[in-house]
Amino acid sequence: MDTKYYVAKWERWNMGKQTFVECPSAKPITIPDFEEFKFFVHRELIYGDQWAKKNWRISEATTGLMCGGNESPTIQGCVELTKNILNRIGKDKFPMYVNNAPKSPFCEV
């Protein structure tokens, strides 16, 4: 059975309620220097109820949160953008963001 991944969707109009939506194109990916974390690469991003599928994005697997809103037409470009953002956050501080974010109840990783 293939692992399913979910992106986080914030509903501002509903008092900030967070829901999770399955991301069909998602595939696991490793970010150099951040191998202990679980990420997935995907094309889907939700704007309201609309799916945008133009560029690649990388999200953290347990929370579905996109890492820095990075977009690229190539997966390798997306990995480089994500690595730069994570390095600015810092390997020591990134777990704080993950631990404080709501976890997807559907997380299979």
In a domain, residue 48? The reply is yes
In a domain, residue 95? The reply is yes
pLDDT tens-digit profile of 51-70?
A: 566 778 898 998 888 886 56
pLDDT tens-digit profile of 71-106?
A: 688 889 889 999 999 999 999 999 998 888 877 766
Tally of structural domains, the chain? 1
In a domain, residue 91? The reply is yes
pLDDT tens-digit profile of 6-52?
A: 777 766 555 556 778 788 888 999 999 999 999 998 876 655 555 56
In a domain, residue 106? The reply is no
Cα–Cα dist 106/5, whole Å? 8
Residues of the domain holding 23:
6-100
Cα–Cα dist 46/73, whole Å? 17
Cα–Cα dist 6/58, whole Å? 12
